[in-house]
Amino acid sequence: MTDDSGISKELIAQLIAGQIDDDNATRLQRLPRKDKDRFFKYIEVLQQRAPWPEQILLRLGDKLFVVRNARNERVVKCECGKEFGDYRQNWKLACRIRTRRTLPEMLEVYDPAPACPEPGWQEIREFFCPDCATQHAVEVVAPGYPVVFEMLPDLDKFYRDYLDRPLPDEAPTWYADHTEVVTRTWASLVH
């Protein structure tokens, strides 16, 4: 930690790597107001760690980002480089999915046995990157449940109103859920 007004990138890197010590983590938690410039330092650190050059716009998961790609599109991208498509479409629909439906299958991930969800009432869905097989998400839901779009960010509002740095391609039409574009395409193949 540098001083009261600034948090160093080294400390942010320690947080990301899970190497921060408890004293520093506690000090960060006890800041009366969060350091406003954290986001851009965070992005800088993440950008340095990323094995690709695309600009990170937001971090969605440990290894999942919204980036601006070479075609100037805002897409979800895995740390391994795999692109999952337009960030307004639920990225889970670009994953491979393993579903655990039976008790033996569930017992591989819940312990002890009485702690296991009940087959029939629930199923466990694991969402993998098709390239590197990272497990990006887990859902424990009722069978037939629509895949949950966990977080659709309003990037333009965030960068303009929260960070005071508008995105160059901002437009009022960006913030919308486009997941149906995917499911409608798939449905057209059914019919």
Partner 1 sequence: MAVANDLGMVPAPAQTTPTGPTLRALFAERDRLTRDTGHYCGVTELTLRDADPIKYERFYNKLHAAVLAARESARFVAASPGSREMGECLWGITTPEGDTLAVSLGFLSHTAIFPVAVRYMANNDYDVNDGIEDGDVYAVSDGKTGGVPHPGDFYSFVPICVEGEIAGWAVGINHLMENGAPVAGSWATFSVDTFMDGLVCPPMRTGRKLKQESWWKAIWERRTRASTMNILDDKMRLAGCAMIHHATHRLIDEFGLQYYKRAIREVIEESRRMIVDNMRALMVPGLYNGCAFRLVKYAGLQNVWSHANKNTLIHIRASVEPNENGLLLDTEGSSRWGYHSYNATPGGVDCAVFLGMINSFAHNTKVTAGIELAVQRHYAYGSIYNPDYEFTSNANLWAQTVSVNSIGFNAVSRAAFARGYLEEAFTVDGNWGAFQGAGTTADGSSYGFTNFEWLGGTGRGAWCYKDGEPLVWAAWSQIATIGDAEEFESCVPPLFYLGRKLLPGYFGYGKYRGGPGNSAVHWCVQPGKHIALTRPNGGLSCTASVGLGMSGAYPGPGSFMISARGTNLPELIAEGETPRDARELLEQIDAGRLTVKNLEIWKTDCPELALKDHDLFVDAAGSSGGWGDPLDRDPALVIKDLNDGMAPRYAFVSRMHGVVAAQDASGVWQLDTAATTAKRAELKRQRLAESIPAEAWWQAERTKVVNKDMVPEVHEMYAQSLSFAKFDGEFRRFWQVPADFAFARE
**Contacts (CB under 8 A) with partner 1, residues 97-116:** 97-99, 108-116
Toward partner 1, which CB reaches closer, 70 or 191? 191
Q: Which is nearer to partner 1, 70 or 190 (CB)?
A: 190
**Binders of partner 1 among 143-172, rule CB under 8 A?**
143-155, 157-158, 161-162
**Interatomic CA distance for residues 184 and 65, integer angstroms:** 25
Applying CB under 8 A, which of residues 47, 73, 103, 140 lies at the interface with partner 1?
Answer: 140
Closest separation in Å from C-beta 72 to partner 1? 21
Residue 47 lies near partner 1 (rule: CB under 8 A): no
| Contacts of 131 by beta carbon, 8 Å cutoff, 6+ apart | 78, 80, 81, 82
Please calculate the CA angle 83-89-90 and round it to the nearest 5 degrees. 85
Instruction: Check residue 174 for interaction with partner 1 (CB under 8 A).
Output: no
Check residue 6 for interaction with partner 1 (CB under 8 A).
Answer: no
Work out the number of other CB atoms within 10 angstroms of the CB of residue 111: 9
Is residue 24 exposed (0-12), middle (13-18) or buried (19+ Cβ within 10 Å)?
middle
DSSP H/E element including 123: strand 123-128
Q: Please, what is the minimum distance in Å from the beta carbon of residue 53 to partner 1?
A: 20
Q: Which is nearer to partner 1, 73 or 117 (CB)?
A: 117
- Window 60-99: contact mask with partner 1 (x via CB under 8 A): xxxxx---------------------------xxxxxxxx
Among 50, 52, 83, 117, binds partner 1 (CB under 8 A): 117
End-to-end CA distance of the chain: 59
Distance CA 181, CA 116 (A): 35
